[in-house]
Chains A and B, each alone.
Chain A
């Protein structure tokens, strides 16, 4: 375990320069924008006078140079402080802590669903490439893959929430319900069904296709032929030999897609009114709140780094040729 800890720490340390590039880039982007946090604030007030704007800029330190503001923010990070959000008028740390779980739930469930179902269906499709089942699953996945997730979300909401009233329309849990423990978990789960379906479908299709083509590739390899020559039962060759090997590119793809999934959740959060990272980022951009946007991007990037690390560890565990996960690159 100590070794694993070191590996994790080393990876996180190694990503520091990358994160720095990200932070500086995003800061410069937002800094070049027309309008600042005070413009956004004045809009929300319905106007104000020039002196007021000047006072506000001084109050929020917006009158300093871009460099000094960047250094100030980075200095805060070095002290483990995420800073103060101008747009929300709150410290950023707690905001992130409130929103992160929602996005994680959405993303995590969508990933789990699409990965499990996608790989299982991919095995079915890839078992006999070219068969009727394969054609149906491949065609179906291509269709799912081509549907914009926001559109799917809209339709699902209309059908299942508004018409049938089986599931809630939006939100992450019943507001101020006072529920706790299992009842709350069940409530959150009910709220997640539709957004997870909308977000997960496209990745389900993606994973299905990758698994299927991985299977097709595995069938062309000597070891599956050798397994047939050894008289192993069909299911065993499919699962233990072909599928197991086809899982490797899928796991790699899981890492590569983690950033994209996080991005995809932005639109879904908007459709289903889930207060998550995507909405926070939109609010940050709209409010020209550089510290908040930086914190959101930093946290997302960290999440992606961690997701990739987990994927690498899983890869190392799946593939004995790769060391404990540290050596895989």
Chain B
């Protein structure tokens, strides 16, 4: 028995936080209009001391709340896009490999191996340094290290589904290989991949933060990682500068995991007994 997705308390909690985040990200320009990087006041106003600037200001006097809200936009966008790119690329390569078999499969899987044995973060680091840290480069860099998981999962799933009775039945019925591949098997190979997608989203949010932390974020947009990196130099004197985006980051990642875990359970029929 799998409980429906919405009946899990942890899923509800995670979902609520995530939904709020997505809403904030989506409506950021309405909630905090104007350029979040604009200088809004005196630098280093502590939080909760100025009604106009509830979370205070950073080193350059930028509104921390506006930065936080727009940072949600970046984090959510980067996390989702990176996961989307990774899942799409992984599904395509994995499914192709699983179906083609033979030399094509061997070649594709060698490429997957190649990406898997190189530490993804090293690769992302090199890629962003070289290509210049724009948001899309960061998304691509993260996806570069994340697509192998979906590829392997998709391939494994395709391989096992290929041998199942309903595929044999479809064959006996006279269905063409292409139809079996794309109409019958693909949709079923998706759930386990979607289930790891949440982990990829969470990991992507963390990776983006780590890259920004190392100074490899896009300077034209606000990111929480960059905020932490900025605040890090004042960790002792103005800890709130890195604690506030840190909390936002942890909340985002936790809620993504919670939703992902519940999603995994209902998608794959796994349930905690």
Cβ distance A153 to chain B, nearest Cβ, rounded Å: 10
By beta carbon, the residue of chain A nearest B224 is A148
- List the A side residues contacting B214 at CB < 8 Å: 267, 270, 282
A148-B213, A162-B236, A296-B122 are known; give 11 further A-B pairs, CB within 8 A. Answer: A26-B126, A29-B130, A130-B272, A142-B254, A142-B258, A146-B253, A149-B210, A150-B209, A260-B119, A262-B119, A278-B122
Cβ distance B116 to chain A, nearest Cβ, rounded Å: 6
Cβ distance B177 to chain A, nearest Cβ, rounded Å: 25
- List the B side residues contacting A263 at CB < 8 Å: 119-124, 145
- List the B side residues contacting A19 at CB < 8 Å: 114, 117
A158 touches B114 (CB 8 A): no
B246 part of interface (Cβ distance < 8 Å): yes
Q: Which of A67-75, A93-101, A168-176, A298-306 contacts B (4 or more CB under 8 A)?
A: A298-306
A146 CA to B120 CA, complexed, in Å = 18
Q: Which residues of chain A from 260 to 312 have any CB-CB distance to chain B below 8 Å in the complex?
A: 260, 262-264, 266-267, 270, 278, 281-282, 285-286, 293, 296-297, 300-301, 304-305, 308
A19 CA to B110 CA, complexed, in Å = 9
Across the interface, B117 reaches (CB within 8 A) one of A33, A142, A216, A304, namely: A304
Across the interface, B130 reaches (CB within 8 A) one of A142, A267, A285, namely: A285
A148 touches B210 (CB 8 A): yes
A148 touches B206 (CB 8 A): yes
**6 smallest A-B Cβ distances: which pairs?**
A263-B121, A263-B119, A146-B253, A33-B130, A21-B114, A262-B119
By beta carbon, the residue of chain B nearest A134 is B272
A154 part of interface (Cβ distance < 8 Å): yes
> Chain A at the B interface: mostly helix, strand, loop or mixed?
helix
Q: Which residues of chain B from 216 to 273 have any CB-CB distance to chain A below 8 Å in the complex?
A: 225, 228, 232, 235-236, 242, 246, 249-250, 253-254, 257-258, 270, 272-273
B257 touches A281 (CB 8 A): no
B184 part of interface (Cβ distance < 8 Å): no
Q: A29-B127, A129-B272, A150-B213 are in contact. Are A266 and B254 (CB under 8 A)?
A: no
A18 part of interface (Cβ distance < 8 Å): yes
* Number of chain B residues whose Cβ lies closer than 8 Å to a Cβ of chain A: 43
- Could you tell me which A residues sit within 8 Å of B by CB distance? 15, 17-19, 21-22, 25-26, 29-30, 32-34, 129-130, 142-143, 145-151, 154, 158, 162, 213, 216-217, 219-220, 256, 259-260, 262-264, 266-267, 270, 278, 281-282, 285-286, 293, 296-297, 300-301, 304-305, 308
Binary contact track B99-125/A, C-beta < 8 Å → 1, others 0: 000000000001101101111111111
B273 touches A220 (CB 8 A): yes
What are 5 A-B pairs at a CB distance below 8 A?
A33-B131, A256-B116, A281-B122, A285-B130, A300-B118
Cβ distance A149 to chain B, nearest Cβ, rounded Å: 8
Q: A142-B254, A145-B257, A263-B119 are in contact. Are A30 and B209 (CB under 8 A)?
A: no
B120 touches A260 (CB 8 A): yes
B202 part of interface (Cβ distance < 8 Å): yes
A297 CA to B125 CA, complexed, in Å = 12
B129 part of interface (Cβ distance < 8 Å): yes
Cβ distance B217 to chain A, nearest Cβ, rounded Å: 13
Cβ distance B126 to chain A, nearest Cβ, rounded Å: 5
- List the B side residues contacting A29 at CB < 8 Å: 126-127, 130
